[in-house]
Chains A and B, each alone.
Chain A
Amino acid sequence: MSETYLPHGFQYSSARHQAESAISGMWLFLATEVLFFGALVLTWIYSRHWNQAGFDAGARQTNLTIGTINTVILLASSFIYSAGVAFIEAGNARRLVQCCAAAWLLGVVFLILKFGVEWRDDFAKHLFPGAAFAIQGPLGGGARIFFEFYFLGTALHGLHMVGGLVLVGWIIWRTRHAEFSSTFYTPVIVVGLYWSFVDIVWIVLYPLIYLVGRGP
């Protein structure tokens, strides 16, 4: 953030002040996002507590293989984007583009696996909580609530992923137009914060969806 000699908005005392405001603003936004997804986690706690057997019966129907592969993909994507930030700090814009492109591609692979393969499989197995829901009997109610959580949680996370892909694409476009250098790269940091946060949300959703309910 050594942007002291760069131009800055009139409302900031320096370019450094402007950069710090942008980074702080993203952290404040992420704090609100924590509460947004916190309500989803609370729903999980409440729903599972009152319907443990049915809830876990639903969780056992999820695709653990795809869920685990997707977790590795997002961890790798977040790592690669962070490496890109380190590269632009060192003044290597070409490497930043390569890292962003790799992170972007991994994000697309995640979405294809999640919605193109896993969701399609779930719908084919009648796991969407509608009239033809596959799990009936005494466990049906809890399983239905689990899949309401599952579809809502993964859809909200997927929407955030799509937003992240647009932002990472925007960083690639701006870097290719030589807008970033070792003296100015604040947007790269700000988008990286968001991209890692989306990864964090998945890190929490992964055990809630795929692991906790897979008991004996």
Chain B
Amino acid sequence: MTLRFRRLWLTLALLLLLLAIEFGTSFFPLDRAARPLLLIPAVLMVGAVGTMFMEVGRGPEIVRLFAVAGLLWLTILLGLGSLDPMTRTDYYVQGASVK
């Protein structure tokens, strides 16, 4: 088995391990607001697929530029889009009712 195939097999094993961790931890009694932390293994899995299966480090330089640009704009999209739900404070107003 060549080094290339060995790396692919190891990547698959890593991905299945991360999936098992993600699946197992989802049964932990985490607070509802903290449960998005379950996405951490998924982020690692995305990194593994991008580097080992898609071989982002192998092509021309501009490939890395496009990959980084995609992540940058995704970060801006999710970061700016999440600002309102993450920072808004609702104040209780006595006597007010929602119609």
Contact = CB atoms under 8 A, between A and B. Distances in A.
B14 to A, nearest CB: 10
A52 B85 CA distance: 12
Contacts of B60: 20, 23-24
A83 interface: yes
Is chain B's interface secondary structure helix, strand, loop, or mixed overall? helix
A79 B82 contact: no
A31 B69 contact: yes
Interface string B50-74: 1011100001101100110111011
B78 A75 contact: no
A193 B77 CA distance: 23
A27 B67 contact: yes
A108 interface: no
Contact of B16 (A75, A81, A204): A75
Contacts of A206: 22, 42
Interface residues of A, number: 52
Contact of A38 (B52, B54, B74, B86): B74
Interface stretch (A116-124, A171-179, A207-215): A207-215
B62 A24 contact: yes
Contacts of A24: 59-60, 62-63, 66
Contact of B53 (A20, A31, A79, A204): A79
A211 to B, nearest CB: 4
B54 A193 contact: yes
Nearest to A20: B60
A155 interface: no
Contacts of B82: 42, 45-46
Contact of B67 (A31, A50, A78, A196): A31
Interface of B: 2, 4-5, 8, 11-12, 15-16, 19, 22-23, 26-27, 29-33, 35-36, 38-39, 41-42, 45-46, 49-50, 52-54, 59-60, 62-63, 66-67, 69-71, 73-74, 77-78, 81-82, 84-86
